[in-house]
Amino acid sequence: MFIEVIGSCGSKNAECRLVCMKLGNRVLIDAGSAALIPDEELDLVDMVLLTHAHLDHILDLGFILDSMVSRRGRPLVVMGSEACLSIVKKHYMNGLLWPDFTRILIEGKPILEYRLLADEVWTLLPGDVECMAVPVNHPAGARGFLFRYNEKTVVYSGDTGPTDKLWRMANEQRDPIAAVIEVSFPNSKRSIAMASDHLCPSLASDELNKLGSHDIPVHVFHMKPWFAEEIMGELDLSGKPVSLLKPGSRIEFT
């Protein structure tokens, strides 16, 4: 099992792709830049797991469904919190802004199936990886995740401001092997980070201190591209080994 980055930014420009990661071959975490995945890889995807319904995380959902509707005979499951799915249904795939793909049948079944992700229980996903959703401090139905495979756990913050429960749940796991944490703004924009329920390096450092004594690799994502250089100069997070996720980066569950 692995996490492989397709896009890792919290906004887009010529250099940066919106958030989308492969969790193994059959699940996507968010779909911001999912349309950039080659067709033969996209054909293997059964589920998109959404952290929340902000545009940078869902933008390409409509375009991969557009491609799937004419190329395959099985549905794509879109999974997320109740609030997140409700926003996607009401404001995106609503038959106005983009088609309501639940009304388009392929071999008698809708090409899009929404599935509610329960909080704070382990849910088995395609590819035998388990996921636990934990509410975090961010709008649009946001959840952070714990992913568990072969008794190894990766903590994935999603978009969030300072939060507690996710790290507490992570500390209850026997073998956390990596943390993926958002850092959207530089320290000079700490007040904007706080106001928009995001993190800057100093806030992320405080969050990682909640992980207790786990000396695990930390992977940073979701930076606003125009602050990339400034953020990278500030990424010494509590002395933990830190890497910046970019397209092609991989985290292995080993």
- CA-to-CA dists, residue 206 to 167, 178, 203, 231, angstroms: 11, 17, 5, 16
| Per-residue contact flags (x/-) with Zn ion for residues 188 to 227, judged by CB under 5 A | ----------------------------------------
Q: Across the strands, what pairs with 182?
A: 221
7 belongs to the binding site for Zn ion (CB under 5 A): no
Whole-number Å distance between alpha carbons of 161 and 199: 5
**For Zn ion, the closer CB: 4 or 197:** 197
Q: How many residues bind Zn ion (CB under 5 A)?
A: 4
Q: Using the minimum distance from each CB to Zn ion, give the nearer residue, 17 or 54.
A: 54
Residues 124-183 that bind Zn ion (CB under 5 A): 159
Per rule CB under 5 A, is residue 54 in the interface with Zn ion? yes
Q: CB under 5 A: which stretch of 49-57, 82-90, 144-152, 207-215 binds Zn ion?
A: 49-57
| Shortest CB 140 distance to Zn ion, Å | 6
10 binds Zn ion (CB under 5 A): yes
Instruction: Give the HSE-up count for residue 181: Cα atoms under 13 Å, Cβ half-sphere.
Output: 32
Shortest spacing between CB 56 and Zn ion, in angstroms: 4
**Closest distance between Zn ion and the C-beta of residue 158, in Å?**
8
Instruction: Out of 9, 17, 24, 56, name the contact with Zn ion by CB under 5 A.
Output: 56
Q: How far is the CB of 223 from Zn ion (least distance, A)?
A: 10
Closer by beta carbon to Zn ion, 64 or else 87: 87
- 30 near Zn ion, judged by CB under 5 A: no
Amino acid identity of residue 251, one-letter, is I
Question: Cα dist. 123→56, 171, 193 in Å?
Answer: 25, 19, 31
Which lies closer to Zn ion via its Cβ, residue 57 or residue 148? 57
Q: What is the DSSP letter of 74?
A: S
Task: State the minimum distance, in angstroms, from the CB of residue 82 to Zn ion.
Answer: 17
Closest CA to 225 of 8, 4, 3: 8
CA–CA distance, 148 with 12 (Å, rounded to integer) = 30
Q: What angle do CA 252, 6, 45 make, to 5 degrees?
A: 80
Nearest to 193 by CA among 185, 181, 201: 185
Q: Which is nearer to Zn ion, 148 or 224 (CB)?
A: 224
Q: Shortest approach of Zn ion to residue 232 CB, angstroms? A: 19
Query: Which parts of the chain fold into alpha helices (H)?
Result: 39-42, 55-58, 61-69, 82-91, 165-171, 190-195, 201-209, 228-232
Residues that bind Zn ion (CB under 5 A): 10, 54, 56, 159
